[in-house]
Structure 1
Amino acid sequence: MRQPVLELRNIVKRFGGLTAVNQTSLAVYPGDVIGLVGDNGAGKSTLIKCVSGVYQADEGEVYFEGEQRHFARPMESRAVGIETIYQDLALAGNLNVSANIFMGREVKRHYLGGLIHTLDEKFMLDEARTVLESLDIKLPDFNMQIERLSGGQRQAVAIARAVYWKARLMIMDEPTNNLGVPEQRKVLELIGKLREQGVPVILISHTLPDVFAITNRVVVMHRGRKVADKPTTETDSQQVVQYMVGALEDDVRAVE
């Protein structure tokens, strides 16, 4: 029996009197690309923030690679290989590509017995170039500031950063939002490369054509609850919309 990379059991997250996530369970296996969909306020982003350490669940359990985890902050989830790419990408516009890939994890050279430290910019640039080329990401200049890149190129840099740091689970929040059609295709292609490498991806998206183009499972949330979890080949956009608005609901019970 396959072991899930990530398993959520009966996750509950409250904000005062509002229950944003209610008894939600989810299992993510190697190579899965899961489309996590739902209307605004359905609880999708809150759920993944309970995984990435932005929030801590009020009830329920998080297991990663078979071990129960309690992530108090995002740095702790990143340390075990959970990389989350939010809509703002967490890139620094005034820094170049390599500086963004190594941001917060810079490589330094040491001199005089460690008394003097300098950034090893050549090493970081070479490593950035290698990972980008391995993903077939083409940039006009690796020394360009991020703010000069297109939206699709920035998304590609964020994905490359996660790949470089050996992500064992990738969570992506609306990665094709506000991108042109060619750039959307490139992002979906990169997600496909992750799948080929066995890296599972949770894809939050309102763009159902993208969900059906790249995922193998669709998970639908409505008012904080998981109402459907289906193989992508066994549903369609019309049915997913019905789940999203509450017209349909499967028997996806809490884990005992």
Structure 2
Amino acid sequence: MAVPLIDARGIVKSYGQVEALRGADFSLRAGEVVALIGDNGAGKSTLAKILSGVERPDSGTIELDGAAVAFGAVEEARRAGIETVYQDLALCADLSPAANFFLGRERLKPGLLGLLGVLDNTTMRKETRQACERLGVRLASQSAPVSTLSGGQRQGVAVARAVTWARRVVFMDEPTAALGVVQTRRVLDLIRTVRDSGVSVVLISHNMQDVMAVSDRVEVLRLGRRVARFETARASMEELVGAMTGALEQQLESEPRQERDA
């Protein structure tokens, strides 16, 4: 089998006396959508933060394309081609889509004006519009603040920004939270489009319907450890929920005892 794009093993992370991760494992192959699920406190967001450079693990190993990596900051993960769409989107409400899109990566005008720090707003608006159109995100204005956009449009800007800069992986933390039915469908379509473009997606979600609809595989965390992995096409929602809650493990443990009693 091909070397996983991301292969994390034995990841441990504590915050004081709280053990968020207790030897968690995770793997992601190129060109797939993997859903990372678990109950509240399972360690999903902590693991995602470690894999995207926001946090450093206390111990454990992470490999990217088979080579060991140790991200010390978000910028290092970004240079490796990893981007994140945070649950709060990390958009500046008073800035335009283009200004958010190029935040920290601003384009300067060519020549002397660029040397003086003058921004090339025309180019940034054009590239933002093109990136959004590639993903099917339609914006009425490239200059209006993102606070005036709908929830689905804001989500689209955040996804388009991440996908444009990502070369390998996009982490999406609860991307459909607080969205309506139509907006949710559009975001799920965006995830499929991202995968089809060759960028792998890690979907962190509590919404089992979204997980079943868009993921290729599911990895389940419980109490800071990976407890199950599923091929989505071969799994049921009941199995996923059972793995999250521990009910599936209890059932598997009880079956041998039932056979012995019989």
TM-score range, shorter chain: over 0.9
8 Å Cα contact 2:220-2:228 kept in structure 1: yes
8 Å Cα contact 1:110-1:116 kept in structure 2: no
Structure 1 unaligned residues grouped into runs of 5+ = 252-256
Task: Kindly indicate whether residue 70 of structure 2 is the aligned counterpart of residue 70 of structure 1.
Answer: yes
Helix, strand or coil for the counterpart of 1:104?
coil
2:188 aligned residue? 188
Q: Which amino acid in structure 2 is aligned with residue 14 of structure 1? A: S
1:254 aligned residue? none
Task: Kindly indicate whether residue 133 of structure 2 is the aligned counterpart of residue 133 of structure 1.
Answer: yes
Q: Which amino acid in structure 2 is aligned with residue 144 of structure 1? A: A
The higher radius of gyration belongs to 2
User: Alpha-carbon deviation of 1:249?
Assistant: 3.4
2:145 aligned residue? 145
For residues 249 and 147 of structure 1, the distance between their equivalents in structure 2, rounded to whole angstroms, comes to 45
1:120 aligned residue? 120
For residues 53 and 65 of structure 1, the distance between their equivalents in structure 2, rounded to whole angstroms, comes to 16
1:47 aligned residue? 47
For residues 147 and 114 of structure 2, the distance between their equivalents in structure 1, rounded to whole angstroms, comes to 34
For residues 5 and 197 of structure 2, the distance between their equivalents in structure 1, rounded to whole angstroms, comes to 14
Structure 2 unaligned residues grouped into runs of 5+ = 253-262
User: Alpha-carbon deviation of 1:78?
Assistant: 1.2
Helix, strand or coil for the counterpart of 2:109?
strand
Q: Which amino acid in structure 2 is aligned with residue 13 of structure 1? A: K
Q: What is the TM-score when the length of structure 2 is the normalising length?
A: 0.91
Task: Kindly indicate whether residue 91 of structure 2 is the aligned counterpart of residue 91 of structure 1.
Answer: yes
1:177 aligned residue? 177
For residues 92 and 36 of structure 2, the distance between their equivalents in structure 1, rounded to whole angstroms, comes to 27
1:217 aligned residue? 217
8 Å Cα contact 2:82-2:166 kept in structure 1: no
Q: 1:98 to 1:207 in 2, by over 3 A?
A: same
Helix, strand or coil for the counterpart of 2:190?
helix
1:157 aligned residue? 157
1:150-180 deviation digits (Å, cap 9, x = unpaired): 1111110011101221331010000000000
For residues 112 and 177 of structure 2, the distance between their equivalents in structure 1, rounded to whole angstroms, comes to 49
8 Å Cα contact 1:110-1:117 kept in structure 2: no
For residues 69 and 249 of structure 1, the distance between their equivalents in structure 2, rounded to whole angstroms, comes to 33
2:11 aligned residue? 11
Helix, strand or coil for the counterpart of 2:195?
helix
8 Å Cα contact 2:13-2:59 kept in structure 1: yes
For residues 103 and 86 of structure 1, the distance between their equivalents in structure 2, rounded to whole angstroms, comes to 15
Q: 1:113 to 1:35 in 2, by over 3 A?
A: closer
Q: 1:70 to 1:150 in 2, by over 3 A?
A: same
Per mean C-alpha deviation after superposition, the further-off stretch among 40-49 and 101-110 is 101-110
8 Å Cα contact 2:34-2:215 kept in structure 1: yes
Q: 1:157 to 1:115 in 2, by over 3 A?
A: closer
User: Alpha-carbon deviation of 1:66?
Assistant: 2.4
Helix, strand or coil for the counterpart of 2:248?
coil
8 Å Cα contact 1:228-1:249 kept in structure 2: no
Q: 1:116 to 1:235 in 2, by over 3 A?
A: same
Helix, strand or coil for the counterpart of 1:84?
strand
8 Å Cα contact 2:9-2:25 kept in structure 1: yes
Per mean C-alpha deviation after superposition, the further-off stretch among 62-71 and 47-56 is 62-71
User: Alpha-carbon deviation of 1:113?
Assistant: 8.6
For residues 115 and 7 of structure 1, the distance between their equivalents in structure 2, rounded to whole angstroms, comes to 42
8 Å Cα contact 1:111-1:117 kept in structure 2: no
User: Alpha-carbon deviation of 1:16?
Assistant: 2.0
Q: Which amino acid in structure 1 is aligned with residue 75 of structure 2? A: M
Per mean C-alpha deviation after superposition, the further-off stretch among 164-173 and 93-102 is 164-173
Runs of at least 4 residues off by over 6 Å: none
1:242 aligned residue? 242
For residues 128 and 13 of structure 1, the distance between their equivalents in structure 2, rounded to whole angstroms, comes to 37
8 Å Cα contact 2:166-2:199 kept in structure 1: no
Aligned residues: 251
* CA RMSD, 1 decimal: 1.6
